[in-house]
């Protein structure tokens, strides 16, 4: 019996799929035979991503600001129309916001980070779960962060939002536990993507220094874990948090 992951016929949405970790996840899902819709607010990056993924399978895109409830609902309807349904949702889009202590953190940035990193995944789950449940099988994977487990100093909004996303994962996982739709999250350590441009060099150094393996995680390593969580091989885990921190977290 083969242990290969087969997602033929499955329909996936990857938010923030235009670059970085999301693009790597989209590539893995395609390689397993799924069709994939990339949701992102960056239209030129979406076009570039489609070119990168050309020939790997059925790829669709939706230009959408994930913090806009109506836009998410419209993108859901368009994706259901294009792919014929939704089986897999990967809530990957995120921002870090600037680095500052909690007492110096700009309130506007706090609100923005919470909107993108926590409210947007809620809106995406809210809009897509009825469609996923209708299909009788599904997987939802939320891309949180080790910051949500441990709390990074000078990243209060990001740490709080990602801790919130872990909580949302646990709540929704239990709500859907009997529906054949499993909900899990991953908590990566730092990866070298465009998101690092939002942070200070000192903060990136701090995050790297905390990793016992002494290196960045590769986007393909995160994507492989997400692929497994998106597949039938993951069958008795829901509402769970999957560590991918090179040894930083011990739980």
Active site residues: 158
The secondary structure of 166-217 as a DSSP string is: HHHHHHHHHHTTTTTEEEEEEEE--B-SGGGGGS-HHHHHHHHHT-TT-SPB
> Which phi and psi (to 5°) does residue 231 adopt?
-115, 170
Closer of 100 and 133 to ligand NAD (Cβ): 100
For 132, what's the count of Cα atoms within 13 Å in the CB-facing half-sphere? 26
* Residue placing its CB nearer to ligand NAD in the complex, 40 or 87: 40
The residue assigned the tokens 């874990």 is: 225
> Among 178, 89, 70, which residue's Cα sits nearest to residue 138?
89
Quote the least distance from Cβ 6 to ligand NAD, whole Å: 26
Tokens of 36: 């994939």
Contact call for residues 38 and 61 (beta carbons, < 8 A): yes
Cβ(36)–Cβ(58) below 8 Å: yes
* Residues in contact with ligand NAD by the rule CB under 6 A: 16, 18-22, 40-42, 45, 64-67, 92-95, 116, 120, 143, 145, 188, 190-191, 193-195
Cβ distance to ligand NAD smaller for residue 58 or 65: 65
CB 45 to ligand NAD: min, Å: 5
Q: CB burial class (10 A; 0-12, 13-18, 19+) of residue 221?
A: middle
Shortest Å, Cβ 174 to ligand NAD = 23
Q: Closest approach of Cβ 148 to ligand NAD, in Å?
A: 9
CA distances to 53, 100, 138 from 194, in Å:
19, 19, 30
Minimum distance, C-beta of residue 67 to ligand NAD, in the bound complex (Å): 5
Looking at beta carbons only, is 157 or 181 nearer to ligand NAD? 157
């Amino acid at each position: 019996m083969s242990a290969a992951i087969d997602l033929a016929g499955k329909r996936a949405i990857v938010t923030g799929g235009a670059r970085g970790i999301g693009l790597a996840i989209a590539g893995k899902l395609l390689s397993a035979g799924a069709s994939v819709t990339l949701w992102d607010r960056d239209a030129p990056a979406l076009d570039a991503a489609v070119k990168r993924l050309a020939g790997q399978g059925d790829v669709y895109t939706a230009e959408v600001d994930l913090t806009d409830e109506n836009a998410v609902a419209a993108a859901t309807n368009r994706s259901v129309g294009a792919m014929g349904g939704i089986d897999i949702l990967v809530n990957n889009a995120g921002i870090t916001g600037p680095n500052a202590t909690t007492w110096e953190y700009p309130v506007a940035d706090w609100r923005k980070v919470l909107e993108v990193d926590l409210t947007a995944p809620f809106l995406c789950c809210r809009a897509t779960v009825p469609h996923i449940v209708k299909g009788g099988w599904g997987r939802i994977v939320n891309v949180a962060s080790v910051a949500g487990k441990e709390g990074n100093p000078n990243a209060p909004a990001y740490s709080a939002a990602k801790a919130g996303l872990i909580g949302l994962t646990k709540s929704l996982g239990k709500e859907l536990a009997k529906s054949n739709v499993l909900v899990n999250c991953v908590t990566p350590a730092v990866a070298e993507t465009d998101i690092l441009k939002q942070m200070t060099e000192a903060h990136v150094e701090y995050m790297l220094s905390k990793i016992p393996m002494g290196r960045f995680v590769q986007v393909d390593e995160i994507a492989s874990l997400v692929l497994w969580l998106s597949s039938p091989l993951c069958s008795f885990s829901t509402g769970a948090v999957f560590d991918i921190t090179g040894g930083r977290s011990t739980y």
